[in-house]
Each structure stands twice: as C-alpha cells, then as structure tokens.
Structure 1
Amino acid sequence: MNSLRRTDISAAMPLVAEAPAKIEVRGVRKRYDANGNVEALAGVDLKVRSGEFVCLVGPSGCGKSTVLRMIAGLHRPSEGEVLVHASGTRAVPTAMVFQSYNVFPWKTIQANVRFGLEMTGMSGAEADRRATAWLGKMGLADFANAYPPALSGGMLQRVAIARAMAVEPEILLMDEPFAALDAQHRRILQDELLTLWQEDRRSVVFVTHSLEEALLLGDRVVVMSARPGRIIAEFEVPFARPRAPEIRGEPMFAKLEQEIWNLLREQVGKHAA
C-alpha cells in the first residue's frame, strides 16, 4: 500500500487484517453527573483485532481516555457494551500505562515492577526473575534498588511500562504515556516502544494527541470528534512492519500527518469554542 486509506464512519469499517476481534466496543454512550446531563460519548463502535496496534486521537475532552478505561473495566458505559475476548491463558488479560507514572514512592524500582506480578499470585523467585528481565529490557538494571524520587520522568515511565509488560497481558492499554516528557525523551521512548511491540505484537490501544506518534506506532489511527465523542474516521497506516523510526523523515509520513490534521482541525476548533 502506498497511500493512506481513510474510512469515514458513514462507509464500511476497514479491515486492517483478517484476525479475530480482541476488543469490541458496541454502541457505547457515557453520561456523567447525577441526572446524566453531561454526555461524554455518543455511540462509539470500535473493533480491535488480535495483534493490532490502534491509536485513538481527538480533541481534549472527547472521551478517548474514557473509552480506554472502559476496556480496562475501570468505567462502565451508560449504554452499549464493551467486550474483551481474552483467551484465558494469561493471568492478566489487560494492563494499563497512564500519563502519570503511578509508581509507589516507598517501594524500590524492583519492587514496583514486581507489584503486579505479586497480585497474580506468582512466586517471589519467579516475580524477581521476570522483574529483573524487564528492568534490563528498559535500561533500568542499574536502578533496581533505587527509589522513584531519584529517577527522572523518562525513567519513571520506563518503570511503568516494565510493570505493565512484566505481567504479559494479552492487551496493553496506554493513556498518553509520553505526554509529560520532554521532546527528546518522548522520541526515545516512542522508538523503544516500537521495538518492544514488534517483538511480540500484542494488542494495543494507545491514546495520544500526537499525530506523529500515532503514525509511527499504529496500524490504524482512529479519529474522534469533539464532545460528545464519536468516531468520525479511521485511517490505515501504510508503512510495513517491522517499522523503523526513520519513517518520520519520509515525505509520505508528513503527507499523512497533514491529511489527518485537516480532518481533526475542525473538531479541535469545536472543543475550543
């Protein structure tokens, strides 16, 4: 494929790959406040296939994070349903990485990564082995006995990713995990995540405001409207796998980013208004 394929919601949903559905969001609406007067989501339908990396983009407040939290089971829809088709072979079907690092400041880095493993009932020796392995993959082996206040923001986000990956979830949910980082560290972690994901191809739903990030990482970019959020278009990303970070410099990359922004600009304006 050498051009971007866009599918408006008025047309048929695109098939990125003939793989079974891992996540299905069906007709989901979400209302807040006691009387249900604040509508956050207005009928969202989304399917994520096994092994697919899907990026959600849209204006602030459009409900991207709400969709993610529903998939994680942290929020319930007011209407509709969210189905997660776990195989049952993993102790933890989903794991989530947040924008804030959510590490325990009183625990060492090793203990932070071990925490999710301990919650699954894993033995101490195996939890230590797996935590050590993931700290090594994330470049944190020398900081296993350090405490979070001693680490930079980029390092703490590596801890959060290691903790989520260590439990080996079928589905990884990431809510703007690099938004709080400076531009250089954000780029480095994007590249590292791209490499890690291409090793095992687990299903990922990734919320971001960065179109560059979405195109670098994703198989598909799903665009949401201003609140109340709904899906207005989906774009299949044409770059082959395995994908190298150098695609950022290709003319097609810039062209695709601009095409998505042309659609998204109106929605951002509505949010600002």
Structure 2
Amino acid sequence: MLLPLFLALLVCSVTAEDKDGVLPRLNDKEAVEAFIDSAEVVILGFLEGEESRGYKELEEAAKRSDSVPAAICTVKEVWADYGLPSDAITLFRKVLYTADNHQENLIVAEAHKLDADGLVHFINTNEIRYITEYNQVTAVGLFNSEVKTHLLLFANRGSKEFTELKQRLEALAPEFTGKLLFVLINGAVKSNSKALDYFGLKSKELPRIGIYDGDSDMKWLLPEGEITTERVREFSESFLRGDLKEVKQAGEVPKTEL
C-alpha cells in the first residue's frame, strides 16, 4: 500500500528539472511528512540545493544504501519544523522507543569531514529496523539504543527457513515496540561465531530463538521445536513478565566442585 502512495508523492513533489540519478526534491511540509511515513527508514537532506556541501555525497551514499529512500528539501521554512537551523542530513526511522519517529541529525557545518563513505556509515549505524541484521556496524546502534533487551533470531542465510522466519518476526516485532529489539544473527557468517558460542549454539543447530537482556547480562533460548509466531510471542511475554529469571540460562555450564 505504501508504494503507490510514495510514487504519487514523487510525482507531486519532485521538481520538473529532476532527472534520473538526482535526488527527489520535496517542496512542502506535507510532502516531507508523507515521505518520512513512506518507509521504515528514510534519509533526507535539508540542503539549499544541488550545489550545497553534502548533496553529491548524499546522492552517492543513497545509491550505495539503496534500501533506504533518500530525498532533499530546500525549503528552509520546513527545516524549522524539525529543529534544524542550518543544512543537515537527517535519518528518520519509525517507532522503536517512543510513539514518534526517531530523528538522527548530521549537521553539515559541524562535520569536519563529509564524504560518501561517512554517510553510508551514518546510515548503517542508525537504521535500526523492526528486525535488524547484526554486524559490526549495526552493533553500535543496537548496543547504544535505549531498549537493552534483544529478541534474537539465529538462522543461516540461504537456508529454507531463513526468509520465512525473518518475515514472521518482522510482522511480530511491532507488538513489542519499546520493549524488545528484534535482531537477526546470520549463523553462516564466521564473524558471528562468538555470538553463537555465547548462547552455546552451533551453526548446524539453527534456526533458534534467544533473548539477551543487556541490563542483567542474562540470556535464554526458546526450547527446541517449531518456531511459530505464537511460541515467539509467548517467549517474549514470559521475559517481560519476569518468568525467565528462574529458567536456566543459555550456554550455562553446570558448576562443579573443585
């Protein structure tokens, strides 16, 4: 349903001079609001025009981060509505911690170095989604988030269950907004072996579901069996009720007397 809306907005909001490869231009607050609402994560340049510092860099970064829609707004009256006194490149992501869109600003005048690589890093670090794939870049945003508990899907990319389970959790995640962050850990990637080891898992044992609570540094696994929406929901709710505190932790090695 969002795609037709988004295409209609571009028809109404992009200037006649725009050509392929040029970032869409949003000309009023209504167009900006609709653009922000059109996707889970968007990047928006509040810039004076195509010659502004940051425009070419944003255009290049947008090509390299093609899963994140990008546009610009040159109307300074609109900038004030987002608390921006000067040129900025801003990432908006949908509700994770509060009832509002989260806004992450990169003020152009305050950036000592502004290049496409840095903007790609800015986007990747801050684009925490309803289900975020764990890697060295997204780890920064995940562990700096206000929500310290992660619902983890351990699955091997390329397996027959991977896509279906990811979609299932993406649909479930909004129910736990502000309570749990849903995180995908690809067990087929060697760099994620430590995360599997931490939960006492091997790649061949996946897929599995776990919960990590950053406040208590405790972790649990959903018992083996079919990973259904109902089981994951109840597992998540059991954590929120405090029931898991009495359950054996994942990867826990029984203590032996010396």
TM-score (norm. length: structure 2): 0.30
TM-score (norm. length: structure 1): 0.28
Higher strand share: 1
Structure scoring higher RCO (CA < 8 A, sep ≥ 6) equals 1
